[in-house]
Amino acid sequence: MLNTSRLALPLRLRSSLKMARRTMASSSSSDLVSITLPESSFETFELENGPELTFETDKENLLQMYKDMIIIRRMEMASDALYKAKKIRGFCHLSVGQEAIAVGIEHACDKKDTIITSYRCHGFTYMRGASVRAILAELMGRRSGVSYGKGGSMHMFAPNFYGGNGIVGAQVPLGAGLAFSHKYRGENNCTYTLYGDGAANQGQVFEAFNMAKLWNLPCIFACENNKYGMGTSASRSSAMTEYYKRGQYIPGLKVNGMDILAAYQASKWAKDWCAQGKGPLVLEYETYRYGGHSMSDPGTTYRTREEVQHMRSRNDPIAGLKAKLLELEIATEEEIKAYDKAARKYVDEEVALAEQDPAPEAKMDILFEDVYVPGSEIPVLRGRISDDSWDFKNKTFLNKVY
């Protein structure tokens, strides 16, 4: 029996996250406001109707979206600084520029829906309930991290969030399996299965499409198209770059992933589609990462600085929502500055706490503690070689040659 107990966040971390959000909360009204999206927000494939361009939401929801995005960006910027200070080692993939997708999906779904994604996962982990401290502690290999310092940047988990997966495209069939579990149990929930444009040509992606359609699974296959798979542009790697049409027999929807309101509306519409028993969907969130593929990639050898600056200045999701908050008079410039200041203060405090957290003890049994749910272990787990076999009862190696 596999151990999923680590998916539950410690109560202390959940409480600290709620406290931080309460600190940032304003006296916002719950009055509804009408949002009208540009016609370019969506493109459909094999759909009679897509999401409505005009919809209503409340002011508090819009404010929370803004606060969530600025915290994620501050957290990623802190990760960048910690990596450059050599406090974070190994792989580290940041999502600066792509915050609208994680935030839009989380605001559109409920906590019983499941989410799985690739290695650019910090924002999703936060939105699913992890604290900034626990995420940064994981990045620094601390015991208080969301995966107890064992997963690092690519392997993070939270309640009903199944990673953070390092193998390109491997999370897509896993996501189909999560959707199958919802259907098997008779749950009115769906799975958001995210992957990048670089993974879109993987054979296992199309195998998962086939099974999901064959079994009519409530699976939203969501391609985060940030234009570059590592250092290769989509046009150089894909004969067809309209990823929302890749499902063939599965309807598709293309979304402006740089607009949080479009990402929210599309994600909500997709969930409603699945809730009606209509089966899977293929979504394409058209987005952009400002940094390189990972911290080891400067991100400027295969694209120009002017291109990056253009996207930052014309399409930034945070700036776009800020403009909407001001236009609708939901917040003033001074209030928004206060939110930004509170987010910076919160993240700085979380960084300091994460840096103080201890590393895991140098005990061998830590390596085996998450293999099985406690009490369900087999007597001996065979290792790489026979004398590496681990005795769960005595918490030691047998050192026995078979």
CATH of residue 251's domain is 3.40.50.970
Residue 300 has pLDDT above 50, yes or no: yes
Residue range 382-396: mean pLDDT, rounded: 86
Q: Is residue 89 within 8 Å of residue 79, measured between CB atoms?
A: no
Residue 309: CB partners within 8 Å, gap ≥ 6? none
The alpha carbon of 134 is separated from its chain's Cα centroid by a whole number of angstroms, namely 15
d(CA 77, CA 3): 32
Q: How confident is the model at residue 401 (pLDDT cuts 50, 70, 90)?
A: low
Q: Which residues of 128-146 are buried (b: 16+ CB within 10 A; e: fewer)?
A: bbbbbbbbbbbbbbbebbb
What would the pLDDT profile of 125-182 be if each residue is shown by its tens digit?
Answer: 999 999 999 999 999 999 999 999 999 999 999 999 999 999 999 999 999 999 999 9
- Coil, helix or strand at residue 136: helix
Same domain, 294 and 387: no
d(CA 86, CA 88): 5
Same domain, 223 and 244: yes
Question: DSSP assignment, residue 372?
Answer: B
Q: Vertex 19, ends 14 and 21: CA angle to 5°?
A: 100
What would the pLDDT profile of 75-131 be if each residue is shown by its tens digit?
Answer: 999 999 999 999 999 999 999 999 999 999 999 999 999 999 999 999 999 999 999
- Quote the pLDDT of residue 14: 40
Same domain, 103 and 122: yes
Number of domains in the chain: 2
CA dist list (Å): 3 to 7, 170, 371, 375, 377: 9, 20, 6, 11, 10
Same domain, 279 and 372: no
Q: Is residue 65 within 8 Å of residue 123, measured between CB atoms?
A: no
Same domain, 369 and 243: no
Residue 384 has pLDDT above 90, yes or no: no
Q: How many CA atoms lie within 13 A of 349 on its CB side?
A: 12
Same domain, 381 and 319: no
Q: How confident is the model at residue 206 (pLDDT cuts 50, 70, 90)?
A: very high
Residue 4 has pLDDT above 70, yes or no: no
Q: What is the largest CA-CA distance in the chain?
A: 74
What would the pLDDT profile of 15-52 be if each residue is shown by its tens digit?
Answer: 444 444 444 444 444 589 999 999 999 999 999 999 99
Same domain, 322 and 377: no
- Quote the pLDDT of residue 30: 58
CA dist list (Å): 227 to 103, 144, 204, 241, 303: 20, 35, 21, 9, 10
- Quote the pLDDT of residue 402: 61
Q: Is residue 51 within 8 Å of residue 269, measured between CB atoms?
A: yes
CA dist list (Å): 121 to 51, 76, 236, 316: 26, 11, 25, 19
**Which of 64-78, 133-147, 277-291, 378-392 shows the lowest per-residue confidence on average (mean pLDDT)?**
378-392
Q: Which residues pair with 62 in a beta bridge?
A: none
Question: With the C-alpha atoms ordered 273, 278, 280, 285, is the resulting torsion angle positive or negative?
Answer: negative
Domain end point (choices 360, 378, 394)? 360
pTM of the predicted protein model: 0.90
Same domain, 131 and 230: yes
Residue 395: CB partners within 8 Å, gap ≥ 6? 364, 365
Q: Which domain holds residue 399?
A: 363-402
Same domain, 317 and 380: no
d(CA 95, CA 109): 21
Q: Vertex 400, ends 396 and 402: CA angle to 5°?
A: 140
- Quote the pLDDT of residue 16: 42
How many residues make up the chain in this entry?
402
What would the pLDDT profile of 225-276 be if each residue is shown by its tens digit?
Answer: 999 999 999 999 999 999 999 999 999 999 999 999 999 999 999 999 999 9
Same domain, 133 and 169: yes
- Coil, helix or strand at residue 204: helix
Return the percentage of the chain with pLDDT > 70, whole number: 92
**Residue 374 corresponds to which tokens in the numbers above?**
């406690």
Same domain, 193 and 338: yes
Q: Is residue 261 within 8 Å of residue 321, measured between CB atoms?
A: yes
**Residue 197 corresponds to which tokens in the numbers above?**
């444009």
Same domain, 356 and 369: no
Residue 146: CB partners within 8 Å, gap ≥ 6? 9, 125, 130, 134, 135, 137, 138, 156, 157, 158
Q: Is residue 175 within 8 Å of residue 142, measured between CB atoms?
A: no
